[in-house]
Amino acid sequence: MPFTTKATIASFGGKLLKLSHPSSTTSTEMAVNVYLPPAALTSSSPTKVPVLVYLSGLTCSPENCSEKGFFQHGASRRGIAIVYPDTSPRGLNLPGEKDAWDFGEAASFYIDATQEPFASNYKMETYITKELPSALFSDPEIGKYLDADKVSITGHSMGGHGALTLYLKNPGLYKSVSAFAPISNPAKCPWGEKAFKGYLGEDKEVWKKHDASELIKGWKGKDVKMLVDVGTGDNFYKQGQLLPENLEAAAKEAGVEGFQLRYQEGYDHSYYFMASFSDEHVDHAAKHLGV
């Protein structure tokens, strides 16, 4: 189905498109923002550019990072499009969907739920990895600017978890991955335990299939092309919600290459943190996207 353009906003020499489209995966209207850099727009004919998918964190929408993350700055410089999907289906009014900020609407954890009442609509893994890219790349107005063969992924917090796990579960789908303050071992932190129980049920062996610290073990000896930044002033890090140390230990045990975990002194969990290092994450993607 075609995209509806809600707004077109000039940004760092390019254009930020605020879009929506009907999703057959979630059975809802889904919002998505797409940034097209100057490199895609300034030639006499449309130019296909690489794509970086950004997955947002708990409570967020496509608006937050596109307004405050400053990814467009680096993307404009490197000639990369940014895709900002939403964090869940919206408007379903399912039982329990809006009872808490860390579960349900805007808190999908980017998995395909198997438990009711979420199983029919909360299929965000399928939406992010299949339906949305297919829709964007085949769209006659948007797809002419996007290179479907050059895609990387990044994200923040819950979206960092999403980026890491979707990358590790789908070898070859993305050229690289990075994350800001990701929920790195959700099967062993309160946020993840709550979400996995609600979406996937009680079987903790099933949980492992959606946990970056477990999935990276399957990449033994391989190049993971992974950059992770965590702020030492992040209260969620201090509370044990993020557990990057567990991801690092698993990466070392698996003997993977290309894994980089950086602790940024004094930075918190906010967009101030992300805006400070977004250029470096765009550069990380650009390196592996060949631009």
Q: Which of 156, 161, 210, 269 is catalytic?
A: 269
Alpha-carbon gap, residue 272 to 69, rounded angstroms: 8
Q: Which of 11, 152, 157, 278 is catalytic?
A: 157
- For residue 47, what pLDDT is reported? 87
Nearest to 165 by CA among 243, 69, 174, 86: 174
Residue 290 falls in which region: left (phi positive, over 0), alpha (psi -120 to 50) or beta: left
Is 234 catalytic? The answer is yes
pLDDT in tens, 230-246: 999 999 999 999 999 99
- What Å distances lie between residue 216 and 54, 141, 192, 211, CA to CA? 20, 37, 17, 9
Q: Which of 86, 112, 211, 234 is catalytic?
A: 234
Is 149 catalytic? The answer is no
- For residue 86, what pLDDT is reported? 98
pLDDT in tens, 188-213: 999 999 999 999 999 999 999 999 99
3-state secondary structure 67-100: HHCCHHHHHHHHCCEEEEECCCCCCCCCCCCCCE
- Please say whether the dihedral angle defined by the alpha carbons of residues 172, 177, 89 and 197, taken in this order, is positive or negative: positive
The answer to whether residues 61 and 30 touch, using CB atoms and an 8 Å cutoff, is no
pLDDT in tens, 75-85: 999 999 999 99
As given in the structure block, the two tokens for residue 114 are 């198997």
- What Å distances lie between residue 223 and 219, 260, 264, CA to CA? 8, 11, 23
Is 139 catalytic? The answer is no
Q: Give the residue ranges of the chain where pLDDT is below 50.
A: none
The answer to whether residues 257 and 223 touch, using CB atoms and an 8 Å cutoff, is yes
- The pTM score is 0.97
Q: Is 186 exposed, middle or buried (0-12, 13-18, 19+ CB in 10 A)?
A: buried
